């Protein structure tokens, strides 16, 4: 059983390892959060959805 990513770092790590999104796309979309730490803000997965990277919805548990 897997759990949802709860921090920015966990989210980006899981997303990169999943292969759902190219590393360059992860870096580009996540650029505004570069160096940020703490809980996963709703805006980060939303940014991936707005960029047309729909599989992120499944990876984060959002629908």
Question: Is position 1 within any domain?
Answer: no
pLDDT at 55: 58
HSE, side-chain direction, 13 A CA sphere, residue 23: 2
Q: Is the pLDDT of residue 5 over 80?
A: yes
Given pLDDT bands bounded at 50, 70 and 90, which one contains residue 2? low
What total number of domains does the chain contain?
A: 1
Structural domain containing residue 24: 8-60
Please tell me whether the overall predicted TM-score, pTM, comes out greater than 0.85 for this model: no
Question: Is position 2 within any domain?
Answer: no
Question: Is position 12 within any domain?
Answer: yes
- Secondary-structure percent of the chain, ordered helix, strand, coil, rounded to 5: 55, 5, 40
């Amino acid at each position: 059983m897997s759990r949802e990513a709860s921090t920015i770092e966990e989210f980006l790590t899981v997303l990169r390892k999943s292969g759902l999104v190219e590393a360059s796309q992860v870096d580009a979309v996540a650029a505004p959060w570069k160096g940020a730490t703490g809980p996963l803000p709703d805006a980060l997965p939303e940014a991936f959805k707005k960029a047309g990277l729909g599989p992120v919805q499944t990876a984060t548990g959002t629908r």
